[in-house]
Amino acid sequence: MSTDSVIMLRRNFKHTLRNPVTVFNAVLLPVVIMLMFVYMLGNAFNVGIKYIDYATPGMILLAVAYGLGATATEVNSDMTTGIINRFRVMDVSRGAVMTGHVVVTMLRGLIATAAIIGVAFGLGYSTHASFGDWAGVIGIIVAACLAASWLTVAMGLSAKTPQSAAMATVPVIMLPFFSSAIVPAAKMGQGLRQFAEYQPFTPIIESLRGLLAGAPSAGYVIAALAWCAGIGIAGYAWAVATFRKRA
């Protein structure tokens, strides 16, 4: 990582620490949602296994998604407040600006994921994953964080205002709720069931669920990595094209 990227990373990380709302949305809110579903609604769902065991993989993806709004807002603020022009005068690498946001978004997602997994074990979560399975889990989570980060940076760069940038991420944040994160897709109504089965989050969640149960599905793992690669490449290309046009 270049010196410029390290400087941008440090800058964005300090902004995150100074904004308690960002920390709450990215880390604490997913934990609150997990507690709500497990304690308040868990007994209402018949998923064939202990509900905390079923819900944890989905909550991991929720944790990844809930920090995205802050990234889109921060990226757009950099674009609309003139800070990018200052960086250009200072001869700061353009790529470093985007890389800094991507890395901080990934770190937020990974910290939130660690918090969710820790809380899950505290609630009685059990796993049969081997060391290799855990390595696969980490790899898929990192891939999902990277893909979501580039897509969110692209959204922030393309939006006209910080408010519209935050709103642009709402569909991505809500998408896990319309997947197999909370209940199996097979239990959903007609139409919604098909949407849940074929949207990106479901194969990612199911691949994590299989790995954590010690029974990974090669089909889900391949589909998850393919979705992450496709979203990441599309987000990167969109972000670079927009940055060159607007910066």
Number of domains observed in the structure of the chain = 1
Which DSSP string corresponds to 84-147?
HHHHHHTT--HHHHHHHHHHHHHHHHHHHHHHHHHHHHHTT------HHHHHHHHHHHHHHHHH
Per-residue pLDDT tens for 19-47? 666 666 677 888 888 888 887 776 777 77
pLDDT at 2 over 60: no
pLDDT of res. 130: 94
pLDDT at 118 over 80: yes
Per-residue pLDDT tens for 135-194? 999 999 999 999 999 999 999 989 988 889 989 999 998 998 899 988 888 888 888 999
pLDDT of res. 47: 79
31 or 205, which is more confident: 205
pLDDT of res. 59: 92
- Contact between residue 229 and residue 86 where contact means Cβ atoms under 8 Å apart: no
pLDDT at 86 over 80: no
pLDDT of res. 149: 93
**Residue 54 — pLDDT band, cuts 50, 70, 90?**
very high
For the ranges 220-224, 231-235, 243-247, which has the lowest average pLDDT? 243-247
- Which residue range forms the structural domain that includes residue 193? 3-246
Tell how far CA 30 is from the center of its chain: 11
* Average pLDDT across the chain, whole number: 85
Over residues 76-101, mean pLDDT: 70
Kindly report the pTM of this predicted structure: 0.87
The answer for residues whose C-beta is within 8 angstroms of residue 29's C-beta and 6 or more apart is 66
pLDDT of res. 3: 65
Over residues 93-112, mean pLDDT: 81
* Distance in angstroms (rounded) separating the CA atoms of residues 195 and 93: 41
Over residues 100-113, mean pLDDT: 87
